[in-house]
Each structure stands twice: as structure tokens, then as C-alpha cells.
Amino acid sequence: MKNGKKMRFLITAGGTREYLDPVRYITNASSGRMGYALAAAALKAGHSVTLISAPTGLVPPAGAEVVSVVSAGDMFKAVKKHFKTCDCLIMAAAVSDYTPVEAAKVKRKKEKKILTLKLKPTEDILAWAGRHKKQNVVVGFALEDRNLKRNAEKKLISKNADMIVANSPAAIGADSSRVLLKTPQGSWIDITGDKAKTARAIIRHITSLILG
């Protein structure tokens, strides 16, 4: 991973699914497009990519090694397996913060009373990577509907990431997006454009962060 050499990117994408029973699950509105665009941009720049993907309707870019996962727990396992050998982890996935305490083995039957679901927190994968990184660079995303910069910076510091990409819920599923990038020491960088352009710019900034 020295000047001009190709880097190994580990990129997560999509919204995880937390099953309540064999046919029902909790998820979110993430399309996975930003993670897939990042994978395409990194490959185009000559790097290698392992794409850990939660279910999406997208076709992975040619050349990516794809690891398909479903739940936050699966994604955590896959990240742990590949993290040591990557130069940069980008957590673009929308990882569920909670998962059912118990998933029913058979389809739940409806009953005429209030149903309370018991959920437990999932592992924060980005924070785990921030604690375990050695030579690797860790990049997180922050989706914020209020106080974008302040909340994103809090995540950057508390999860010990090297860069945070902040965006607002308007970015979900949209073609064009505005993202703000920040490293712990740097100032905010504003990028607007379609997801391919935004992804190229993010990869460029990460590359210069690593290569200095």
C-alpha cells in the first residue's frame, strides 16, 4: 500500500435485515447504491474491493469479491473476517441498531392484542473497527436529520474513525446527493453530484489520506 500501489478496500453496503420470524423482518430504507458506487469507483481507480452486501436489488460491479450477508450479526462476522487484511474499511451499510432478542422459528400468528417486540442492541461494527484498527484506515457514514456537522463529528470521534461522510435522509435512494467529509484534524469538504461522482471524490480523498 505504498504510493501508486493498489489498495484493498473492504466496503459494506445495503440495509441489514433482522428477522422476527421466517417471513418478516426489520430493515431500513437504504438502497445500497452509495456502497456499490464506492466499490465501482475504487475498482476503476485500480484498487481491489471486497463488498460485504446486505440484500439490495443491485448488480455488484465486475471485479468485486462479493460477500452476501443478511443481518447485522452476519455483517459483523464478515467484517471481522476480512478486516485484518484490508487497507481501508468503508462502512456505507445501514446497519440495524437493534435485532430481535428471539426470532420465532415458525411464522407468528396474529392475535387480537397489542404485540410488544423485544429488541437488543447489535454490535456497532464501525466502533469495533475503530478499536481494532492497526495500519488500516476506517471510514464511517453518518446519516443525520438534525445538526448534521455536530452529530457527524461526534460519531467520527466516538467511533475512532479516520474519516466521516455525513449526509441527510434526502440522500436515501436519491440520484444526486450532497455529502460532507471530515477527518479528525481537517476541515469540512463539501461534495455535491450524482452518486458516482460523490463516490469518486470520497475514494480520492481516502487515497490521499492513506498515501499522505
Q: Which of these is catalytic: 28, 136, 151, 167?
A: 28
Residue 31 interacts with ligand CTP (CB under 6 A)?
no
| Region class of 94: left (phi > 0), else alpha (psi between -120 and 50), else beta | beta
| 28 is an active site residue | yes
Tell me if 138 sits within 8 A of 183, measured CB to CB: no
d(CA 141, CA 180): 10
Question: In the complex, what is the shortest distance from the CB of residue 93 to ligand CTP, in angstroms, rounded to a whole number?
Answer: 5
Question: In the complex, what is the shortest distance from the CB of residue 105 to ligand CTP, in angstroms, rounded to a whole number?
Answer: 25
> By CB under 6 A, how many residues form the interface with ligand CTP?
14
Tell me if 58 sits within 8 A of 36, measured CB to CB: yes
Q: Which is nearer to ligand CTP, 16 or 20 (CB)?
A: 16
Q: Which is nearer to ligand CTP, 111 or 127 (CB)?
A: 127
Alpha helices in 22-162 (DSSP H): 33-44, 72-83, 125-132, 148-158
Q: Which is nearer to ligand CTP, 29 or 66 (CB)?
A: 29
Q: What angle do CA 137, 200, 145 make, to 5 degrees?
A: 75
Letters for 57-96 (x = contact with ligand CTP by CB under 6 A, - = none) are ---------------x------------------x-x-x-
Q: Which of 91, 95, 207, 210 is nearest to 140 (CA)?
A: 91
- What is the crossing angle of helices 72-83 and 125-132, to 10°? 20
Letters for 117-156 (x = contact with ligand CTP by CB under 6 A, - = none) are -----x-xxx-------------xxxx-----------x-
- What is the crossing angle of helices 195-211 and 33-44, to 10°? 60
Question: In the complex, what is the shortest distance from the CB of residue 112 to ligand CTP, in angstroms, rounded to a whole number?
Answer: 33
Binding residues for ligand CTP (CB under 6 A): 72, 91, 93, 95, 97, 122, 124-126, 140-143, 155
Which residues are known catalytic residues? 28
